[in-house]
């Protein structure tokens, strides 16, 4: 079949592609080669799919359903492979093959159209938090995963540059950067984290009711990982007058349920919301930027 990148993937990768990058142009041929190498039968490309990879629903030679995932090097697919191998299917999708010359990931098939986001909010948060807890483990010895300090250091540099060109966002950027400095001064633990966890990253499975997918793993404290979950369904929070109080209750409930320091969770939630907001503005997603920066102002 002809492999065509979903429009969502084209748009997202187009926003961040370095000059001269031709990964999207080469993607159809790479997908055909990956399928042939593994003797897979293609069912369909998952649409709308993710923002950093092509996800193809396939069957292996023995008829077992699986997922083939192809991502550009800048999406760190080998880091994802290493994390999934370390988790070994506990709380996360199962990796079905080891190292691959083409960098593609062959994964256990979950129910791609059923995430915890489809549940009522209270239950969705409960199920998502329970899944996340299983992923917080000691990283393997000699690991090459990026640390929270390293990742947020790169982000902080971009935030400072954006603030210079956007005086309106500058106070929030200053607050977020100050929070980061304080949080990194004395991290309570160094665990393997999902890195980009949210409700839509938890899919229904057969082996376990809910399993996480799509990690961008990082090593650091658990509050960093939990922070992205705090702002899930941000558009709904912004649309109600009770948004600020609901957010405070959510921070308290998540912190208590996962035994995370509440103020550290608030601080990382602030940093990650501001970072996402200024990045959205930088690439022209003004509506997303406004939502995220308004949310950050509540913190």
pLDDT in tens, 243-284: 999 999 999 999 999 999 999 999 999 999 999 999 999 888
Burial class (CB in 10 A: 0-12, 13-18, 19+), 103: middle
Report which of 45, 97, 100, 103 is spatially closest to residue 73, judged by C-alpha positions.
Answer: 103
Kindly report whether the peptide bond that precedes residue 48 is cis, defined as omega within 30 degrees of 0: yes
Region 143-172: what's the mean pLDDT? 92
- pLDDT at residue 28, as a whole number: 93
What average pLDDT does the structure give for the chain? 93
Q: Does the pLDDT value for residue 2 go beyond 70?
A: no
- pLDDT at residue 4, as a whole number: 82
Q: Are the CB atoms for 68 and 106 separated by under 8 Å?
A: yes
Reported pTM:
0.94
- pLDDT at residue 1, as a whole number: 61
Region 100-111: what's the mean pLDDT? 93
Q: Does the pLDDT value for residue 101 go beyond 70?
A: yes
pLDDT band at 19 (very low <50, low <70, confident <90, very high): confident
How far lies 146's CA from each of 79, 139, 157, 259, 267, in Å? 9, 11, 16, 24, 20
Region 133-161: what's the mean pLDDT? 96
Region 183-190: what's the mean pLDDT? 95
Could you give all domains of the chain from N- to C-terminal order, each with its CATH number?
7-109 (3.30.200.20), 115-297 (3.90.1200.10)
> Using N-to-C axis directions, what is the helix angle for 7-16 and 23-38, rounded to 10°?
130
Region 160-181: what's the mean pLDDT? 92
Region 28-53: what's the mean pLDDT? 92
């Amino acid at each position: 079949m002809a492999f065509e990148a979903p429009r969502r993937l084209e748009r997202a990768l187009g926003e961040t592609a370095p000059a001269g990058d031709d990964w999207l142009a080469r993607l159809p041929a790479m997908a055909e080669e990956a399928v042939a190498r593994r003797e897979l039968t293609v069912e369909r490309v998952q649409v709308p799919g993710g923002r950093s990879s092509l996800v193809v629903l396939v069957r292996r030679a023995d008829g077992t359903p699986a997922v083939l995932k192809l991502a550009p090097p800048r999406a760190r697919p080998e880091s994802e492979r290493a994390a999934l191998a370390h988790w070994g299917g506990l709380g996360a999708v199962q990796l079905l093959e080891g190292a691959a010359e083409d960098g593609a990931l062959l994964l256990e098939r979950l129910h791609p159209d059923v995430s915890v986001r489809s549940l009522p909010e209270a239950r969705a948060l409960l199920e998502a938090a329970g899944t996340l807890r299983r992923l917080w483990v000691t990283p393997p010895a000699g690991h090459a995963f990026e640390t929270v300090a390293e990742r947020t250091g790169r982000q902080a540099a971009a935030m400072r540059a954006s603030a210079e060109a956007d005086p309106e966002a500058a106070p929030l950027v200053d607050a977020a950067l100050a929070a980061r400095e304080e949080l990194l001064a004395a991290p309570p633990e160094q665990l393997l984290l999902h890195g980009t966890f949210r409700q839509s990253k938890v899919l229904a499975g057969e082996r376990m009711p809910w399993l996480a997918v799509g990690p961008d793993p990082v090593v650091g404290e658990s509050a960093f990982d939990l922070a992205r979950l705090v702002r899930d369904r941000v558009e709904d929070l912004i649309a109600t007058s009770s948004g600020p109080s609901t957010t405070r209750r959510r921070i308290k409930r998540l912190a208590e349920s996962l035994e995370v320091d509440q103020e550290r969770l608030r601080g990382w939630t602030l940093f990650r919301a501001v970072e996402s907001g200024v990045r959205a503005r930088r690439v022209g997603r003004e509506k997303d930027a406004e939502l995220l920066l308004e949310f950050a102002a509540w913190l």
